[in-house]
């Protein structure tokens, strides 16, 4: 199967997890941090099962454990997810999808700063267009309005984007399947130290939502990550990968409007999505 099919399928599962998360918050009064921790552990379990079926699962032979990079990953993914899940609870899934496109900008900046990659004129233009799309989405009554939910979404996207360079460093030492397993397992363990009350609330969260739905949620969460890394390992065309990533943004917005009935500021979301898509397409150009 071609790599772009893996990426496209990954985006379908990515949109599915966003919609499931938002529907859970619409139906239940639960802690977003407890939900994220529980989902990570379930996704990590499915990732472990998949990894054990593969020929290699662990540290690449001859490589040492990059402890500093692992700790940075725990911080960026951990706190990024905390902000992200709190934002999902507070704002529409469609708006969340648009704002999260900013992670692409932060990903490019992290690669420039930490991996010494160059930033060209098109990337400056694309990043500016994406920020314009986010501003259009957050305009309320002719004013730019960033509420707590929008700010949390932007911070979470920034932390996820900054982790991109660190991901590239870690994948030099770990097989992708093993890395996915520790990326699901370790960040919630770190966050448990700071949010112990939320960690203790995991059993209550599971009881409230129900095991069947959480298994579906965690499975979709794991599958989207596995498919993405399979596709990433099969291609050298990062620009095309960025373009295919657009499918996830657009699909989430469309499904949020159709399934979750998120029709508030509909035209504003459509225009904002269009602007973000243009920005991402510009980033994909060479």
What are the structure tokens assigned to 13, written together? 């599962």
- Distance (Å, rounded) from C-alpha 126 to C-alpha 130? 6
Beta-carbon contacts of 16 under 8 Å, excluding residues fewer than 6 positions away, are: 220, 224
Nearest to 267 by CA among 136, 97, 132: 136
- Distance (Å, rounded) from C-alpha 92 to C-alpha 131? 18
Beta bridge partner(s), residue 144: 139
Task: Please give the C-alpha separations between residue 259 and each of 35, 91, 115, 220, 256, in angstroms, as whole numbers.
Answer: 22, 16, 41, 18, 5
pLDDT averaged per 10 residues in sequence order, the chain, 286 residues: 74 85 88 94 93 76 83 94 89 74 73 72 75 66 66 89 81 81 94 93 94 95 86 59 58 69 72 76 68
Write down the pLDDT at residue 55.
73
Residue pointed to by tokens 């708006």: 95
Write down the pLDDT at residue 188.
95
Write down the pLDDT at residue 248.
63
What are the structure tokens assigned to 4, written together? 């772009």
Write down the pLDDT at residue 185.
94
Write down the pLDDT at residue 211.
94
Write down the pLDDT at residue 137.
64
Write down the pLDDT at residue 193.
93
Ordered by start, the domain boundaries in the chain are: 3-119+147-263
């Amino acid at each position: 199967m071609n790599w772009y099919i893996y990426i496209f399928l990954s985006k379908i599962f990515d949109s599915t997890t966003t919609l499931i998360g938002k529907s859970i918050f619409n139906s239940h009064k639960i802690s977003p941090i407890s939900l994220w921790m529980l989902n990570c552990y379930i996704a990590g379990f499915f990732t472990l099962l998949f990894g054990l079926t593969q020929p290699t699962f662990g540290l690449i032979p001859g490589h040492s454990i990059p402890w500093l990079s692992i700790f940075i990953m725990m911080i960026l993914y951990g706190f990024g997810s905390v902000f992200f899940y709190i934002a999902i609870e507070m704002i529409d899934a469609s708006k969340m999808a648009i704002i999260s496109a900013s992670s692409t900008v932060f990903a490019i900046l992290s690669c420039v700063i930490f991996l010494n990659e160059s930033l060209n004129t098109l990337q400056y233009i694309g990043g500016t267009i994406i920020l314009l799309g986010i501003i259009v989405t957050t305009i309320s009554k002719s004013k730019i309005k960033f509420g707590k939910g929008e700010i949390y979404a932007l911070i979470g996207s920034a932390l996820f984007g900054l982790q991109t360079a660190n991901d590239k460093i870690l994948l030099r030492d770990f097989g992708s399947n093993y890395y996915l397993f520790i990326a699901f397992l370790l960040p919630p363990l770190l966050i448990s130290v700071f949010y112990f009350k939320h960690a203790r609330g995991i059993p209550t969260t599971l009881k409230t939502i129900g095991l069947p739905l959480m298994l579906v949620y965690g499975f979709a969460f794991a599958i989207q990550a596995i498919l993405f890394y399979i596709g990433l390992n099969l291609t050298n065309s990062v620009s095309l990968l960025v373009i295919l990533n657009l499918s996830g943004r657009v699909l989430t917005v469309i499904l949020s409007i159709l399934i979750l009935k998120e029709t508030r500021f509909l035209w504003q979301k459509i225009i904002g999505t269009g602007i973000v898509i243009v920005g991402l397409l510009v980033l994909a150009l060479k």
